[in-house]
Amino acid sequence: MNEWRNRIPQRVIGGVLLLGGAVLFIVGMNASDSVADRWSEFFTGHFTDATVLYIIGGVAAAVAGLMLVAYRGRTPAGA
């Protein structure tokens, strides 16, 4: 029971990271449809730096959050 209580902050932080990462990813995907990004992609073949950072940052935060939520941790020997 005590181990479960010690993991609550880890799960809360993981959930916040997972949710925040999903929001950043969605913002990045919406930004990729903006007029500025379409012009940038038309002339350079790439999205703007801000859009790429939103997408990559969102995926990284979501993966980190998922790992924190899913990670069980070590169980003490003999427990």
What digits encode the pLDDT tens for the residues 27-50? 999 998 888 888 888 888 888 899
pLDDT score, position 45: 87
CA distance linking residue 14 with residue 61, whole number of Å: 9
pLDDT at 14: 93
Q: What percent of the chain has pLDDT over 90?
A: 48
Quote the CA–CA distance of 34 and 55 in Å, as a whole number. 14
At 1 the pLDDT is 54
pLDDT of 40: 85
Return d(Cα 56, Cα 58) in angstroms, integer. 5
3 pLDDT higher than 80: no
Residue 29 CA to residue 72 CA, distance in Å, equals: 32
